[in-house]
Amino acid sequence: MAKQEPNSAASRPLKIIAGADAYGSSLKDALVAQLRSLNIKVEDLGTSKYYSVGEEVGRRVSQAANSNSSVETRGLLACGTGVGVAIFANKFPGVYAATCLTPAEALNTRSINNCNVLAVSGMSTTPETAAEILTTFLNTPFKSPCPASGSNPWPEDLQSFFDESIQEMSKIGNENAPVADPPCFICSQAKARTDKEFTPVEVMPGGSMKILRETPTSAIVRFKAGSVEPAHHHTFGHDLVVTKGSKCVWNLSKGEKYDLGIGDYLFTPAGDVHRVKYLEDTEFFIKWDGHWDLFLDEDVATANAAIDKEKNDTK
């Protein structure tokens, strides 16, 4: 792709609404400094819970998209994975938030989806790579040649489809327009998959999993109410966001307990031994780097006995 001057992709002056949670704040600050060095106006909302800041940035970009402002408004979000903030930004009509881990992903989503909110991962992306992703996000016009097009111009029929899609997408989420699927990528992926497409987790009765992407790997996982994951560990750290139900997680390595419900996020470091109890039918999004592995540190009977003992001790 030919080098472009900052803002060359925009026909109007550009403004960026930025925000992050604690896991993405350092990376967000670095990118805000980059934007200001380019003389791009930035409204920095600071640091908050990932769902709160995702919602606020999404709301403001949506309001701007539905106005006749002479300024183009886009969003910049960062959290641990870049996924959680995008989920909540995408709840607003006219917002097309995408999590990008590489410049190529930013190029594709600007070209195909006219993405107007960039979400980045504070835990997986270096400042140098994030700077390249942001530059691509700023400088790539809609319908540009991109990796998905083989770096060639899109055929005329696809360019016409993209133009029509912008009109149709802008109606999704408005009160008078029916919405077939939720705008959030994770929820849409989960809804589109039937139970038989999920593979049982053999060593964890009551659990099933569907891989969404590879390297880094992400998946939707489901557990039935009352299921227990006995104490176990992995050689990789993993991030998760609960999208349905609730569960308790005991990090036995750290001696900590977490009660997680819808929208809650948890990172478990590599090697940490943890036990889980599902209080109701539960579904969550999980992401990790590397090949899947699981090492049991106890059996189900031992896990249930430990959970029952804690319950009795707290009575």
Q: Which residues pair with 200 in a beta bridge?
A: 208
CA distance linking residue 191 with residue 217, whole number of Å: 19
Which phi and psi (to 5°) does residue 168 adopt?
-75, -40
pTM to 2 decimal places: 0.53
CA distance linking residue 29 with residue 35, whole number of Å: 10
pLDDT of residue 173: 67
Which SS3 state, helix, strand or coil, does residue 274 take? strand
- Tokens 């590879």 belong to 214
pLDDT of residue 197: 77
Question: Per residue of the chain (315 residues), what is the pLDDT tens digit?
Answer: 334 344 444 457 899 999 999 999 999 999 999 999 999 999 999 999 999 999 999 999 999 888 777 889 999 999 999 999 999 999 999 899 999 999 999 999 999 999 999 999 999 999 999 999 999 999 999 888 989 889 888 888 888 888 888 778 777 766 554 444 444 544 544 444 444 478 888 778 899 988 887 767 888 999 999 999 999 998 888 899 999 999 999 999 999 999 999 999 999 998 999 999 999 999 999 998 777 788 899 998 998 999 998 888 876
Contact 243, 285 (CB under 8 A): yes
Nearest CA to 238 among 126, 129, 123, 127?
123
pLDDT of residue 251: 95
Task: Give the length of the chain.
Answer: 315
